[in-house]
């Protein structure tokens, strides 16, 4: 996971190209599909029956566990295997015990840039898919299998003091600027090293100076792979900006030997198609595409069933065909939409008092709380290629999505009903009586029997006796001017 550090523990490698390379031997072992599936997945503990007896406000907190579920798919296994190969192949050409690697590192800081004997073994691959389809979640799950920072001290009986950063993940700046990317890089390196002030050590006179320092840092810490997410933001780069950044990424691959993983929405593909040389390099190890699920897809069925098993309503509901169809109708196979809809539906069911998630409630919540997604869902529902290509443009901003998930479960009418159900604990004091010549009356709230009244009337302090006996309302006595002591 991000920032995780460990001391190197070397394991012998069966593959000849990997043997004798401390950077590879310090990595976790190559995983079988069964082990990878188990490590990638994340399922919270099943719903405890005792939790269903908790107050509704408390159960609302439990519902958010749905957001932590990671359901592995076949594509996750392919992604894990691809990344495992990518990071190891990149280290083959950067063995720190090799003389050519040492000469190459020295050349980066000298006048002769890029030693002629250095042969990069790094490659790239691309991850694309719709927004909300699970790309970033999948990448995070894969990266969590590797300690981000490994500390080396001795290797094969010899001193080997080295800090290895196995991966670095950056988001492409929203304005697509290379300067913003450089700034992110140094911050990310500092986080990986546990040094929040690391970025302050680097002052750049110009962008070329910053890029050169990035090369030196990336080589010094043997960064295993650089992951660039949200690459579609390059569309917003100024004239020439996207070409400069793409060329720099490929420069890291070819001249520094660092593998690069590109991730973004489908719109990023057009960035590479504009320059064929770039397109060939970017697709070096292929492209993994995260597609939305069809309703009859087995993996979608598994996902819905697993998520549906987490219910904190007092009355649990079976997953009927009607509910299954309604969920697909209002999510169109987008995993992020599914999680959001289930969270909001359970919140509504609990806060409205129905304590049961039904197809009607799911539809009602979708039409009220998730109406901001209607244009995007409509485009997907149409299956019209032209409209579907506009899907990304129709999605709301992240801030708007966060507002959609605000914890207010009930619609305005229901919340007003809730407000009206709250009554004051003590009725407001009666207005002061109008002064008349009539004899003041004992408050109507005081009820006494005749014998008790006679006894109290003979008391020197009848009002005090009434109060002590609990027959006179203390609040009324205190605030009524008729009985207030002067």
Q: What is the CATH number of the domain that holds 77?
A: 3.40.50.300
pLDDT of residue 196: 87
Whether the predicted pLDDT of 117 surpasses 90: no
Q: How far apart are CA 377 and CA 363, in angstroms?
A: 14
Identify whether 41 is part of a domain.
Answer: no
Q: pLDDT-derived band of residue 12, with 50, 70 and 90 as boundaries? A: very high
pLDDT of residue 461: 65
Q: pLDDT-derived band of residue 385, with 50, 70 and 90 as boundaries? A: confident
Is 390 found in the same domain as 265? no
| Region 293-310 average pLDDT | 96
Identify whether 310 is part of a domain.
Answer: yes
pLDDT of residue 95: 92
Is 260 found in the same domain as 137? yes
pLDDT of residue 482: 42
pLDDT of residue 389: 74
pLDDT in tens, 82-93: 999 999 999 998
Query: What dihedral angle (degrees, nearest 10) is formed by the CA atoms of 477, 479, 480, 485?
Result: 70
pLDDT of residue 448: 42
Q: Domain of residue 330: give its range.
A: 298-420
Sequence-ordered list of residues with C-beta below 8 angstroms from that of 47, at least 6 positions apart, any chain: 62, 309, 310, 311, 312
Is 140 found in the same domain as 19? yes
Last residue of a domain, one of 385, 420, 455: 420
| Region 250-274 average pLDDT | 81
pLDDT of residue 445: 44
Identify whether 47 is part of a domain.
Answer: no
Last residue of a domain, one of 387, 420, 453: 420
Percent of the chain surpassing pLDDT 90: 46
pLDDT of residue 185: 92
Whether the predicted pLDDT of 51 surpasses 80: yes
Burial of 434 (0-12, 13-18, 19+ CB in 10 A): exposed
How many domains in the chain? 3
Q: pLDDT-derived band of residue 486, with 50, 70 and 90 as boundaries? A: very low
Lowest mean pLDDT among 65-79, 152-166, 457-471: 457-471
Q: How far apart are CA 332 and CA 311, in angstroms?
A: 22
pLDDT of residue 5: 76
pLDDT of residue 43: 94
pLDDT in tens, 350-379: 999 999 999 999 999 999 988 888 888 898
Is 103 found in the same domain as 80? yes
Lowest mean pLDDT among 263-267, 308-312, 345-349: 263-267
Of residues 333 and 250, which shows the higher confidence score? 333
Long-range own/partner contacts, residues 382-385 (CB < 8 A, 24 or more apart): none
pLDDT of residue 375: 87
Identify whether 115 is part of a domain.
Answer: yes
Identify whether 153 is part of a domain.
Answer: yes
Contact 173, 180 (CB under 8 A): yes
Q: pLDDT-derived band of residue 393, with 50, 70 and 90 as boundaries? A: low
pLDDT of residue 37: 93
Is 319 found in the same domain as 229? no
Three-state DSSP class for residue 263: strand
Is 318 found in the same domain as 268? no
Is 136 found in the same domain as 237? yes
Identify whether 52 is part of a domain.
Answer: no
pLDDT in tens, 220-253: 999 999 999 988 888 777 666 677 788 888 888 8
Is 151 found in the same domain as 228? yes
Whether the predicted pLDDT of 257 surpasses 70: yes
Is 173 found in the same domain as 119? yes
Is 457 found in the same domain as 317? no
Q: How far apart are CA 321 and CA 359, in angstroms?
A: 10
Strongest mean pLDDT among 134-143, 315-324, 468-477:
315-324
Q: How far apart are CA 233 and CA 239, in angstroms?
A: 13
Identify whether 48 is part of a domain.
Answer: no
| Region 68-79 average pLDDT | 94
Is 77 found in the same domain as 204? yes
Strongest mean pLDDT among 155-164, 173-182, 253-262, 382-391:
155-164
Identify whether 85 is part of a domain.
Answer: yes
Q: Strand 158-165 and strand 124-129: pairing? A: unpaired
Is 306 found in the same domain as 271? no
Whether the predicted pLDDT of 113 surpasses 70: no
Q: pLDDT-derived band of residue 392, with 50, 70 and 90 as boundaries? A: confident
């Amino acid at each position: 996971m991000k920032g995780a550090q460990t001391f190197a523990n070397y394991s012998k490698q069966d593959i000849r190209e990997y043997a004798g390379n401390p950077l590879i031997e310090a990595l976790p072992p190559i995983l079988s599909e069964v082990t990878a599936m188990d490590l990638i997945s994340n399922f919270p503990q099943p719903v405890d029956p005792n939790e269903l007896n908790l107050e509704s406000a408390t159960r609302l907190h439990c519902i958010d566990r749905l957001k932590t579920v990671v359901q592995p798919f076949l594509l996750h296994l392919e992604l894990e295997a691809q990344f495992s190969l990518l990071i190891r192949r990149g280290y083959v050409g950067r063995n720190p015990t090799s003389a050519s690697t040492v000469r190459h590192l020295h050349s980066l800081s000298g006048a002769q840039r890029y030693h002629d004997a250095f042969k990069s073994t790094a490659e790239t691959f691309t991850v694309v898919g719709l927004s909300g389809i699970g790309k970033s979640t999948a990448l995070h799950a894969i990266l969590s299998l590797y300690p981000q920072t490994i500390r080396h001290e001795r290797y094969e009986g010899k001193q080997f003091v080295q800090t290895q950063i196995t991966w670095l993940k950056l988001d492409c700046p929203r304005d697509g600027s290379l300067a913003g990317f450089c700034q992110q890089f140094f911050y990310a390196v500092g986080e990986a090293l546990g040094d929040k002030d690391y970025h302050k050590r680097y002052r750049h006179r110009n962008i070329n100076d910053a890029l050169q320092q990035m090369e030196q840092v990336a080589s010094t810490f043997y960064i295993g792979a650089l992951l660039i997410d949200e690459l579609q933001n390059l569309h917003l780069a100024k004239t020439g900006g996207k070409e400069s950044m793409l060329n720099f990424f490929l420069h890291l691959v070819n001249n520094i030997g660092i593998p690069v993983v590109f991730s973004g929405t489908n719109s990023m593909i057009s960035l590479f198609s504009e320059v064929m040389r770039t397109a060939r390099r970017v697709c070096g190890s292929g492209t993994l595409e995260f597609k939305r699920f069809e309703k009859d897809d087995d993996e979608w069925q598994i996902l819905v069933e697993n998520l549906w098993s987490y219910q904190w309503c007092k009355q649990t509901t079976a997953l009927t065909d009607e509910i299954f169809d309604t969920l697909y109708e209002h999510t169109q196979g987008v995993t992020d939409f599914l999680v959001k809809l289930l969270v909001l539906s359970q919140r509504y069911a609990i806060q409205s008092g129905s304590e049961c998630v039904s197809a009607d409630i799911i539809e009602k919540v979708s039409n009220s709380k998730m109406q901001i997604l209607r244009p995007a869902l409509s485009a997907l529902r149409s299956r019209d290629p032209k409209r579907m290509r506009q899907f990304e443009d129709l999605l709301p901003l992240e801030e708007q999505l966060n507002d959609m998930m605000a914890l207010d479960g009930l619609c305005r009418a229901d919340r007003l009903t809730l407000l009206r159900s709250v009554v004051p604990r003590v009725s407001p004091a009666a207005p002061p009586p109008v002064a008349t010549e009539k004899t003041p009356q004992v408050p109507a709230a005081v009820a006494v029997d005749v014998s008790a009244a006679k006894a109290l009337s003979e008391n020197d302090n009848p009002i005090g006796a009434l109060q002590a006996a609990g027959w006179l309302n203390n609040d009324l006595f205190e605030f009524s001017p008729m009985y207030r002591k002067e």
